[in-house]
Structure 1
Amino acid sequence: MSQRPAILVISFSPIARDARVLREISALAEVGEVTSVGYGPTPPHVVNHLQIPDSAPSLPQTPAGVLKLATRRLRSAETAAPAARAAIRLVGNSRFDMVVANDARAIPTAFAVAHGAPVWADMHEWAPEERTHVTSWRLLVAPLMDHICRTYLPRCAAVTTVGGEIADLYNQRYGVAPRLVRNAARYADLSPSPVLTEGPIRLVHSGGAIYGRNIEATIDAVKQLDEHFTLDLYLVAGGDNGAYLSALKKRAADCERIVFRNPVPPEELPAVLNEYDVGVFWIPPFNTNARLTLPNKIFDFIQARLAVAVGPTVEMVRVVKTYGVGVSSTTNDVSDIVATLRALTPEKVASYKHASDRAAHELSFEHEKQTIHAIVSELTESTVN
């Protein structure tokens, strides 16, 4: 193919705020002409954006859709969601050289509009158990996600996911072998900031204030530590109108060493975090995705040239140990978090920060996007320079 391929990217998310999809689109736009379908305003790097109405949910939540889920008429539920119907209508008769479906719920829509073009499924997590901690999701939606994965993943021309453990699950249950595109941040041209030998070790956490992430345990641990530790939090309010964030602020109110900062855009985060010493994250294994998570924030910490302190989450521990960038606790209990942090010294932290500096190139999106370019080349038979 001599001309740049036409690529359709479907994501039932506000794409302009979806860090993974934004990075994906930027890589695709280097080698093709990208049209996006999703919620919200036009994201950068696309030649066209087909905006799904915010009022159109991405699951079949209408009375007819819920009935289909409840009676296990899963085939007819595949594109019954209002967002899926809107996407199919918006794409119309347009033709593309390849279609990218972000997450399981977008895959049937991708096949409906592909007209025989190859479909790449980018699985942001383990789809069958995305929200199984919510009873209604577990009873009604989980069977649909399993059906979609079982029916469509073997038909996809390419499948990717975020970590090796989740890739193994897709292989074991559905017989597909996903390639990895981790949630790595772009390479940041930074150097480790000096660790204060006499001052406190400056801890930092960034991300969503979402119940279940156990941020209160980090707060409680720092409150038990002495003046040699401070904690700054860059938190975005979750979908609960900020209730969890407010509860965290109240919990930390009696400790002046804990400060809540205004969140910053993802692209600015590494430079802002660079002034700290240790990026921290402990999350209980409340479902499979939490147990196997390898989140953006770990890569943000590494691009910021920080030491990393995490719980016993297998993928995060693997990064920490493989690259020597920090420490992990044996559990997510406050007592273990306290012991893990108390064992840190300025000398150890400085060593971990320099290890992050050495790993920053390999653990950057510039490394991950080579897989994206390879997929485009294979699926469209185009030449990627």
Structure 2
Amino acid sequence: MTRPRILCISFSDLRADARVLRQLGVLGEFGDVTTVGYGAAPDGVSEHLEIDRSLPSLPQTLGGVLKLAVRAYGAVDLDAPAVRRALQLVGDRAFDLVVANEARAFPLAMKLAGDAPVLGDLHEWAPEERSHVLSWRLLVSPYMWSVCRRYLPRAAAVTTVNRSIADLYEREFGVRPEVVRNSTRYRESVPSPLDGDRIRLVHSGGAVPGRSIETMIDAVDVSDERFTLDLYLVGAYGSDSYLDRLRDRVERSDRVRIHPPVAPDDLPATLNSYDLGVFILPPRTTNHRLMLPNKLFDFVQARLGLVFSPAVETDALITRYGLGVTTDGFAVDDLVRALEGLTAEQVLEFKAAAHRAAHELSSEHDLDVLRRTVQRVLAEVG
């Protein structure tokens, strides 16, 4: 029997995109998967069509920007350089299912799908993805609203990262996404012991301006001597200037270190030697306010306690499972107060709580949701 042909589109570096990698693992259970995106081929796919990293996935030429400005969105849908290149790479290949990662991939997915169904995975609230950037807010945000209005109702199924964001999509566009969180697979592990009176903080993620990495560095530098901070940072595409500035800043600190990034699947094992995973993110956008990032699940699988800034979804999980503490706010002083109020006994209990919750907060449930969704969509194709 011929296996279904599945196309997965993601304008990301696929080998570094943990959510897409988990998605590909499920898709491979149902068919032969072709990927199109940036970077080298991910493991396990039948074919990979690589887009040059220099090609942006949104219109950035003068003509494209003008089309965005006058809201000629029908002319913009397939105009971005990466989209045009993807059309060339895919050519006349036909598929039984097309998966679009993030709203920006929907026009391309619908074009390539023909009569095949499209499954859309909305990694966050697309209309406000980067609304803290003025040009994005003025030009791209209205376009994302248009994409969602025009394309979401045509999708055979839609998934997103948490219930709060799913509720937004249902309220604004009348589409009820399934929830597939950014959880990672269960790891057999145990919490590491404390190293004397030291409390070892760790943060992993993108070196992106606005992520408050400086806040974490400054808080550790002025907090008491118990605390150290290790940062596993991924540089931004095309520029390491922000990461270079962080390196310069850390050179002046004797308790903060920056390490090279670690592959998503290796992160929990690498992080296990630490005590607390820390993340501070001011709610500049709806996505920040409703965040439920993959690093929370990485920290749990690493058996770490958590110190996070306030956010609707993370607050709920931290409280429900007793995983750690939430700061009062987003400033250096807020983080310092949260840290200095901790005892060694509390840190050990947070790590033990992560160990107890590791099964329930692993990806097995979320991937089952995705499996059922893919199975249903393919069954409807016949």
Task: Name the TM-score, length of structure 2 as normaliser.
Answer: 0.95
Q: Work out the CA distance in 2 between the residues paired with 1:77 and 1:240.
A: 24
- Cα offset for 1:135? 1.9
Q: Which moved more, 1:271-280 or 1:84-93?
A: 84-93
CA contact (8 A) 1:78 1:144 kept: no
CA change 1:205–1:150 in 2 (3 A) is same
SS in 1 for 2:30: coil
Q: Deviations over 1:155-197 (max 9, x none)?
A: 111111112211111111111111111111222211111124x
Measured against aligned partners, the alpha-carbon deviations of 1:12-41 in whole angstroms (never above 9, x if no partner) come to 222222221111111211222111111222
Relative to 1, partners in 2 of residues 1:52 and 1:318: Cα closer, same or farther, differing over 3 Å? same
For the 8 Å contact 1:192–1:274, the answer to whether it is kept is yes
**Alpha-carbon displacement from aligned partner over 1:92-126 (angstroms, at most 9, x marks no partner):** 33222211000111101111111111111101111
Q: How many pairs were matched up? A: 381
Take 1:173 and 1:98, find their aligned partners in 2: how far apart are those partners? 26
The answer to whether 1:286 aligns with 2:284 is yes
**Contact between 2:224 and 2:340, CA under 8 Å: does it hold in 1?**
no
Name the stretch that deviates more: 232-241 or 354-363: 232-241
**Whole-Å Cα distance in 2 between the matches of residues 185 and 100 of structure 1?**
20
- Corresponding residue number in structure 2 for 1:8: 7
C-alpha contact 2:250 2:258 (8 A) present in aligned 1: no
Distance (whole Å) between structure 2 residues aligned to residue 292 and residue 307 of structure 1: 20
Q: What are the Cα deviations for residues 194-240 of structure 1, in whole angstroms up to 9, with x where unaligned?
A: 124x3211111111111101111111111121111111111222347
Task: Say yes or no: does 1:216 pair with 2:217.
Answer: no
How far apart are the structure 1 equivalents of 2:272 and 2:52?
38
TM-score of the pair, normalised by structure 1: 0.94
The answer (yes or no) to whether the contact 2:121–2:158 under 8 Å persists in 1 is: yes
- Structure 2's unaligned 5+ residue stretches are none
Judge conservation of contact 1:361–1:367 (CA < 8 Å) in 2.
no
| One of 312, 315, 319 as aligned partner of 2:313 | 315
RMSD: 1.8
Q: Percent of counterpart pairs with the same letter?
A: 53
Give the AA of the match of 1:181.
V
Matches within 5 A, 1:253-268: 253-268=251-266
Partner of 1:364: 362
Shift of 1:318: 1.5
The 10-residue stretch of structure 1 (40-49 or 50-59) with the greater mean CA deviation from structure 2: 50-59
Distance of 2:202 and 2:316 partners within structure 1: 21
Shift of the 252–42 alpha-carbon distance from structure 1 to 2, 3 Å rule, reads closer
Residue 59 of structure 1 and its aligned partner are, at CA, apart by: 1.1
Q: Is residue 199 from structure 1 mapped to residue 201 from structure 2 by the alignment?
A: no
- 1:137 and 2:136 correspond: yes
Aligned mates of 2:64, 2:238 — CA distance in 1: 25
Which of 66-75 and 240-249 deviates more?
A: 240-249
Partner amino acid for 1:214? S
Distance across 2 between alignment mates of 1:14 and 1:165: 27
SS at 1:43's partner residue?
coil
In structure 1, the gaps of 5 or more residues are none
* Structure 1 contact 274–306 (Cα < 8 Å) conserved: yes
1:9 and 1:34 in contact (8 A); partners too: yes
- Offset at residue 296 of structure 1 (A): 1.5
1:331-379 CA distance string (max 9 Å, x none): 1121121111112111111111111111112212222111111111101
Amino acid in structure 1 at the alignment position of 2:12: S
Task: Tell me the alpha carbon deviations over residues 58-102 of structure 1, each in whole angstroms, 9 at most, x when there is no partner.
Answer: 112233322221211111211111222222232233222211000
- The SS at the match of 1:30 is helix
